């Protein structure tokens, strides 16, 4: 992992009587910054400025004439001035106090939000390494609270290699339960399940490699921007492919076709490289052939 180059702040991690001063780094970044577009006047190309209009009077309202309000009923608001809002903000403590330790697998990834890396500050290398080692050995993560930028965050501390990561979590009230989504439950036949499992086995790797996936949309946008900047050419976009007609597919046929495609790919690799196809590919091909004879 490439070490972050600039700390964005500092905090103290505490558990029991142990206090660990740490430096805070962002874990996520966009290479070259995110791609965003500005609104321009079509006729002269000048940048447009956003304005706020009063719905009642139809006039432009400047910022020094604005106040914030909360709509507690239809078209009814209670007002808050900046001092009142500031008084409600969470007071930043620059500290994370671990309240409990739980198994990392007990936290569903749906709760994960933003991630930070922590590095030991001066004189804190030993307790920092101790906490990382203890968490790795126990298979647990620390749960705590962090206040910053006027807000309070639920966080966990977990080891990633030899680095301590601080992961913001969504509160339970902010996460919809999967049970709220209505899903039909048709019968899954054993033969269908067996074919689906074989297809999964053929496409299984030992671990996830994020470097093998690239943001293709971002690449197309950046290439188009670069072309316009350097060559001054207009970009002609291809017509979108026609949408499908919602054709109902046969599940077993789709699974068999997928397995047959994988089997052909494996056979081609064997003929080119002179290597024997993996055993599970051969077994899957046999199953497909038998299923086709029925």
Report, as an integer, the average pLDDT of 80-108.
83
Q: Which residues contact 210 (CB under 8 A, 6 or more apart)?
A: none
Instruction: Give the three-class secondary structure for 128.
Output: helix
- Confidence band (pLDDT; 50, 70, 90) for 285? very low
Distance CA 291, CA 294 (A): 5
Q: Which residues contact 278 (CB under 8 A, 6 or more apart)?
A: 266
Q: How confident is the model at residue 293 (pLDDT cuts 50, 70, 90)?
A: very low
Answer whether residue 18 shows pLDDT above 90.
Answer: no
* Bridge partners for 47 per DSSP: 40
Count of positions (residues) in the chain: 294
Distance (Å, rounded) from C-alpha 90 to C-alpha 148?
7
Say what the pLDDT of residue 289 is. Answer: 47
The overall average pLDDT reported for the chain is 80
| Measured distance CA(117)–CA(111) in Å, rounded | 18
Cβ–Cβ < 8 Å for 158, 167:
yes
Q: Give 89's pLDDT tier (boundaries 50, 70, 90).
A: low
Most confident stretch, 193-197, 260-264, 283-287? 193-197
Structure-token match 């290699």, residue found? 161
Phi/psi of residue 35, nearest 5 degrees = -85, 120
The backbone torsions φ and ψ at residue 122, rounded to the nearest 5 degrees and listed phi first, read -55, 130
Q: What is the DSSP string of 214-283?
A: --HHHHHHHHHHHHHHHH-PPPPPPPPPPPP--PPPPHHHHHHHHHHHHHHHHHHHHHHH-PPPPHHHHH
pLDDT band at 291 (very low <50, low <70, confident <90, very high): very low
Structural domain spans, the chain: 9-29+89-173, 188-199+248-294
Q: Could you tell me which of 19, 7, 12, 13 has the C-alpha nearest to residue 141?
A: 13
Which string of b and e fits 22-59 if b means at least 16 CB within 10 Å? Answer: bbbbebeeeeeeeeeeeeeeeeeeeeeeeeeeeeeeee
pLDDT in tens, 157-214: 999 999 999 999 999 999 999 989 999 988 989 998 999 999 889 888 888 888 888 8
The confidence score (pLDDT) of residue 30 equals 59
Q: Residue 111: what pLDDT? A: 94
* pLDDT tens-digit map of 101-159: 999 999 999 999 999 999 999 989 999 999 999 999 999 999 999 887 778 889 999 99
CA separation for the pair 26, 115 (Å, rounded): 7
Q: Which residues contact residue 283 at a Cβ distance below 8 angstroms, ignoring those fewer than 6 apart?
A: 198
- What value does the mean pLDDT take over residues 252-275? 69
User: Is 9-29+89-173 assigned to CATH 3.40.250.10?
Assistant: no
Helices (H), the chain: 82-88, 125-138, 190-202, 216-231, 251-273, 279-293
Tens of pLDDT, residue by residue over 56-71, are 888 988 888 888 888 9
């Amino acid at each position: 992992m490439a070490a972050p180059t600039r700390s964005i702040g500092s905090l103290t991690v505490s558990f029991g009587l142990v206090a660990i001063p740490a430096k805070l780094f962002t874990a996520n970044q966009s290479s070259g910054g995110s791609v965003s577009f500005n609104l321009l006047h079509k006729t002269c190309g000048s940048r447009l400025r956003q304005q706020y209009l009063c719905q009642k009077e139809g006039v432009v309202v400047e910022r020094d004439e604005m106040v914030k309000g909360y709509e507690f009923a239809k078209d009814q608001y209670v007002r808050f001035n900046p001092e009142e809002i500031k008084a409600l903000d969470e007071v930043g403590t620059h500290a994370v106090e671990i309240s409990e330790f739980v198994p990392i697998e007990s936290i569903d990834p749906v709760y994960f939000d933003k991630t930070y890396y922590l590095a030991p500050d001066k004189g804190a290398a030993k307790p920092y390494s101790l906490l990382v080692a203890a968490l790795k050995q126990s298979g647990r993560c620390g749960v705590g609270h962090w206040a910053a930028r006027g807000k309070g965050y639920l966080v966990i501390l977990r080891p990633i290699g030899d680095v301590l990561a601080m992961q913001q979590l969504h509160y339970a009230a902010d996460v919809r339960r999967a049970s709220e989504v209505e899903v039909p439950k048709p019968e899954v036949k054993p033969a269908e399940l067996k074919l689906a499992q074989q297809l999964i086995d053929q496409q299984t790797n030992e671990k996830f490699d994020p470097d093998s996936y690239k943001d293709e949309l971002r690449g197309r946008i950046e290439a188009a921007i670069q072309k316009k900047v350097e060559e001054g050419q207009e970009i002609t976009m291809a017509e979108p492919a026609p949408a499908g007609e919602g054709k109902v597919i046969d599940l077993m046929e789709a699974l068999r076709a997928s397995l047959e495609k994988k089997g052909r790919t494996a056979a081609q690799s064997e003929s080119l490289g002179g290597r024997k196809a993996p055993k599970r590919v051969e077994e899957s091909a046999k199953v497909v052939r038998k299923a086709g004879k029925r």
